[in-house]
Chain A
Amino acid sequence: QKVSVEVLDHLEHLALVDFRDSEGVERLQKAIQFADQLHEVNTDGVEPMDLVLEDRCLYLREDDVTEGNCTKELLENAREKVEEYFVAPPGNIPLPKLEERETFLQGS
């Protein structure tokens, strides 16, 4: 089944990355088709595996500050900053809806 435009739009919103052109959408379709092969495998009773080191315990360390104070270095790579703040454009404006923004999906 093809992926619907709503889902494609939703993905663009979630990922904040655009499909750019029909090739991008094709790529996703092929990827899903490829992944569908997983359903051939019988996984009844199998627990999902997150990490190969699952048999070992994570450890806790002492809650002491051992490093930090590197504000200057951290700010160096940011393009826009003011004093010790990273500057971002206003945040409470959502990404424009499908009809209003520049995206390849508009034509679909």
Chain B
Amino acid sequence: QVSVALKEGRVTPTELCQRCLALIKSTKFLNAYITVAEETALKQAEESEGRYKRGQPLGILDGIPVAVKDNFNTAGIETTCASNMLKGYISPYNATVVQKLLDQGAVLLGKTNLDEFAMGSGSTDGVFGPVRNPWSYTKQYKEKSVPKFHSEDQESNWVITGGSSGGSAAAVSSFTCFAALGSDTGGSTRNPAAHCGVVGLKPTYGLISRHGLIPLVNSMDVPGILTRCVDDAAVLLGALAGHDPKDSTTIQDDFKPFELPDLTDVSKLSIGIPKEYHAPGLSSEILALWSKAADLFKNAGAKVVEVSLPHTRYSIVCYHVLCTAEVASNMARFDGLEYGHRSDVKDSTESMYAATRREGFNDVVRGRILSGNYFLLKQNYEKYFVKAQKVRRLIANDFVKVFRSGVDILLTPTTLSDAAPYTEFIQEDNRTRSAQDDILTQAANMAGLPAITVPTALSERGLPVGLQFIGRSFQEKQLLTVAKWFEKQVQFPVIQLEEVKRHDSAVFQHQKSASFS
């Protein structure tokens, strides 16, 4: 809609950019952005305006404000991964996905907050502080939250965004941008998307280039897409997918961007409900929503079957081992010599490295590096690392079997419950939380399959809950088509931010139902 408005001249890219920048300032308490690239954004908006005036926009994304998670390299803009290790690091190049967005004319507003090095499921462990869920400040949440919280306590009642792409999710959800990039290694895009009531897409591994994305787990990382509706996600996907000679893990097949058809007949569809996803700890609310969704498909004529993915409960353990092992390797590059933080210790190279890493990494990162190194020790290699790789194959095969039996799409919950209050979340340490929260999203990363979370309904506390669809490898079109149908059926309510509404009602009116496709 916004794209059409830009083309028709009802709003100009600079106006749009300025409104978004103003909104970012007034929602600063959310702590969604680490760096706001005001000058460059305005310049990009001006250039876009020039193109529209000449009647030559580069495409749908021309002039659209977007935000990028701070673990993507952006030329000339500080890239920190929310870590002391990279504070002050100005990337010399653009990640391929960032470059693709800029080539399409998108306006890069800034870099969003995350868990340090994308490790975590709350966006609470970065050095710039935790990200607050915009839904903590809505009429819907305040009305439904326990009445004993007076307005003075409001400050401590806010809920987390989920992680690790929390900043991106909060940014899209609070209307400060129209789309954002995140990364997804164990659910890092889908988890915050579900908690913030936005669409979170994890593409098939190998579809979108990882060049420029600071790696966590090379065999599972993918750039993730966060938008307000499924159509927008399809547009972003179209702009970003495709082979990249700079990333040898992208497939060489031609990718054709697609528009999503409006599905009316679901009778030929077979939806699988994996019974193992009824995990311990799943809230009864979400279980009920999941059921309702299955019924929705059934009543519309689709075939809904229960399926089994027997190794689901080992997926998180397997992930734990493989992730820490690859992290131990990937974090080895941070030694202070070529970039990033460097300690003042001068006695020897090793002691300088050790001191730099001691000063630069937080507990979570250090913990994972040490665990990873443990699993990779010669005496443990077979027992843990190779074993985990074997279990990985079993998990991937589970999916293959299910898809081969005729199921088209799997329907599962995305999270175990709605967003937790920050004070509650930090009671447990990062590893425990990740192990709990990633359970439903993780297996798709193991098997490299595409998955999307669609905001479904508000919980009893007035917070968003999303449901997840998992599709076959490289069948994003089918996956998104079904997701779009579902989105239309559930009619998820628009967020009603309280504080912000007072100041920027004009901006808000315009952007309230805005999507750019």
Contacts and interface: CB of A to CB of B under 8 A. Distances in A.
Which range holds the interface residue count of chain A?
35 or more
A2 interface: no
Nearest to A13: B350
A47 B390 CA distance: 6
A49 B321 CA distance: 13
SS of B interface (majority): helix
B354 A43 contact: no
A70 B75 CA distance: 13
A88 B352 contact: yes
Nearest to A92: B348
Interface of B: 89-90, 92-93, 205-206, 219, 245, 248-249, 251-252, 311, 314, 317-318, 320-321, 324, 328, 335-340, 342, 345-354, 357-358, 361, 363, 366-367, 369-371, 373-375, 377, 383-384, 386-394, 396, 429, 431, 435, 447-448, 473
A64 B92 CA distance: 23
Contacts of A52: 205-206, 219, 396, 447-448, 473
Interface in A55-108: 56, 58-59, 61, 70, 73-74, 76-80, 86, 88-96
Contacts of B345: 89
Contacts of B342: 79-80
Interface of A: 3, 7, 10-12, 14-20, 23-24, 27-28, 30-32, 34-35, 37-41, 43, 46-53, 56, 58-59, 61, 70, 73-74, 76-80, 86, 88-96
Given A43-B391, A86-B338, A35 B320 contact: yes
Contacts of B351: 89, 93, 95-96
23 contacts: A7-B377, A20-B358, A28-B367, A30-B431, A34-B320, A34-B431, A35-B388, A38-B318, A38-B384, A38-B388, A39-B387, A41-B314, A51-B219, A53-B249, A73-B93, A74-B338, A77-B89, A77-B92, A86-B338, A89-B346, A89-B349, A91-B350, A95-B351
Given A17-B366, A77-B339, A93-B349, 15 more contacts: A15-B328, A20-B358, A20-B366, A27-B371, A31-B374, A38-B317, A39-B383, A41-B311, A43-B387, A43-B390, A43-B391, A53-B205, A53-B249, A78-B338, A90-B347
